[in-house]
């Protein structure tokens, strides 16, 4: 086990004076201090440490820190560094054994305390350096949201998005500079919110209230087909729900959606808390996937334009693979199986006799199970009604030993 050489100290607006002695000692004894300009301004004049602010891209500063091993490095952060903070990045890059993390009360805890909200029943998210479209996933009647802002303009952007999605009556509270002498609060509804900038350091609290026109979707697999913009290349709702159940999404797990079409499988996987890469050969569909992902609250979905299996070699190892198109392409299934993580799941669907034959051969080669999914919908037949069937879908599901 390596000895910790990076201290990550969380600060509130009260500054260094509010730190416990052990945390203050990490700052006082540091040979190198790293943080934002606001954090470094809290350090007393005459501190002997060298200082550095974060660069863009962040990886440049990470590389600099890597070259400081053996020296006493102290990173100053806001609140809890392990809650959407720099501590998460440093732990990933250097390992937990290299870190000593001293958190301060974070924005979510402070905001919940100010508002009297039970934190375990609140959705917490960050829009700092992330797209506003992330908000779309969380909007539902009665939801309570705590949002880390990117800057002083974020509250107005949140209010506008709430109005656009039919949540104009929602109550917004902006909490600025919590924990310091400049703490302030601004409140109102999304409908009445103006564009006056708030302080850059702010947290937005939203108590969602919906109108009859509100657009809100369940996170359960099987969104309505009309939730997606598509050109007909869409895994239909009932089959999609069964396919996602077979894929068994897990938080943080990576999915390859090969032959993604409009991206419905990858997007619903991401809405369940996983990460996804959608691989699609047609350029028009690549743009369509991006638009669908943004609208449905999964804007971090990665879209790869190219032909599988050629483009798969440079992708990270997946915990699950879905082949929705192209299962008869030479080498595609074998490449997906070889790259799949141990214990991972491969699911493939086919509607043609040739595709079904290929799935049968793969099932004999790799094991697993096959199913046929047949769905019919009630439809008008003259003055009466009858069941109109969709094309049956053959599905192969296999788990890699």
Assess contact for 254 and 316: CB atoms under 8 A.
yes
What number does CATH give the domain 225-399? 3.40.50.150
- Chain segment 288-303, per-residue pLDDT in tens: 999 999 999 999 999 9
1 pLDDT above the threshold of 70: no
- The CATH fold assigned to 6-104 is Cobalt-precorrin-4 Transmethylase; domain 1 (3.40.1010)
390: which DSSP letter?
Answer: P
CA distances in angstroms from 298 to 46, 206, 280, 290, 316, listed in the order given: 47, 20, 17, 9, 19
Domain parsing of the chain, residue ranges: 6-104, 108-207, 225-399
What's the pLDDT at 2? 66
Q: For the residues 134-143, what does the mean pLDDT come to? A: 98
E runs forming strands in 48-181: 50-52, 73-78, 99-102, 123-126, 144-148, 171-176
- Chain segment 308-348, per-residue pLDDT in tens: 999 999 999 999 999 998 999 999 999 999 999 999 999 99
Share of the chain above pLDDT 90, in %: 99
Contacting residues for 201 by C-beta, under 8 A, at least 6 apart = 13, 38, 78, 176, 177
CA separation for the pair 212, 68 (Å, rounded): 57
- Chain segment 27-85, per-residue pLDDT in tens: 999 999 999 999 999 999 999 999 999 999 999 999 999 999 999 999 999 999 999 99
Whether 108-207 shares its CATH topology with 225-399 is answered no
Average pLDDT, whole number, for the chain?
Answer: 97
What's the pLDDT at 178? 96
CA distances in angstroms from 363 to 91, 106, 224, 265, listed in the order given: 41, 51, 31, 22
Q: Which CATH class is domain 108-207?
A: alpha beta
Prediction pTM value = 0.94
What's the pLDDT at 325? 87
CA separation for the pair 390, 382 (Å, rounded): 19
3 pLDDT above the threshold of 90: no
């Amino acid at each position: 086990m390596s000895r910790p050489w990076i201290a990550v100290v969380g600060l509130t607006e009260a500054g260094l004076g509010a730190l416990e002695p052990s945390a203050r000692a990490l700052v006082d004894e540091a040979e190198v201090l790293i943080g934002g300009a606001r954090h470094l301004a809290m350090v007393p004049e005459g501190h002997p440490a060298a200082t550095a602010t974060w660069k863009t891209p962040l990886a440049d500063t990470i590389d600099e820190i890597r070259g400081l091993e053996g020296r006493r490095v102290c990173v100053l952060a806001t609140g809890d560094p392990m809650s959407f903070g720099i501590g998460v990045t440093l732990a990933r890059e250097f390992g937990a054994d290299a870190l000593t993390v001293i958190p301060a009360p974070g924005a979510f805890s402070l905001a919940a305390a100010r508002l009297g909200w039970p934190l375990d029943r609140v959705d917490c998210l960050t829009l700092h350096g992330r797209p506003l479209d992330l908000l779309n996933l969380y909007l539902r009647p009665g939801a309570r949201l705590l949002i880390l802002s990117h800057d002083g303009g974020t509250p107005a952007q949140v209010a506008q998005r709430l109005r656009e999605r039919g949540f104009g009556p929602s109550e917004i509270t902006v909490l600025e500079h919590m924990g310091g002498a400049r703490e302030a609060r601004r409140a109102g509804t999304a409908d009445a919110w103006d564009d006056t900038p708030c302080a850059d350091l702010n947290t937005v609290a939203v108590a969602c209230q919906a109108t009859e026109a509100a657009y809100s979707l369940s996170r359960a697999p099987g969104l309505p087909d009309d939730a997606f913009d598509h050109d007909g290349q869409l895994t239909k709702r009932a089959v999609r729900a069964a396919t996602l159940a077979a894929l068994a999404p897990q938080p943080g797990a990576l999915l390859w959606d090969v032959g993604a079409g409009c991206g419905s499988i990858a997007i619903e996987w991401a809405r369940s808390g996983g990460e996804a890469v959608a691989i699609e050969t047609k350029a028009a569909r690549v743009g369509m996937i991006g638009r669908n992902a943004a609208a449905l609250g999964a804007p971090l979905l990665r879209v790869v334009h190219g032909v599988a299996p050629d483009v798969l070699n440079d992708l990270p190892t997946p915990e699950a693979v879905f082949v929705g198109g192209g299962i008869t392409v030479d080498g595609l299934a074998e490449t997906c199986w070889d790259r799949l993580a141990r214990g991972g799941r491969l699911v493939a669907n086919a509607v043609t006799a040739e595709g079904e034959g290929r799935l049968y051969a793969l099932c004999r080669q790799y094991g697993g199970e096959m199913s046929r999914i047949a769905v019919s919908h009630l439809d008008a037949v003259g003055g009466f009604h009858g069941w109109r069937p969709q094309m049956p879908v053959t599905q192969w599901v296999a788990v890699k030993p």
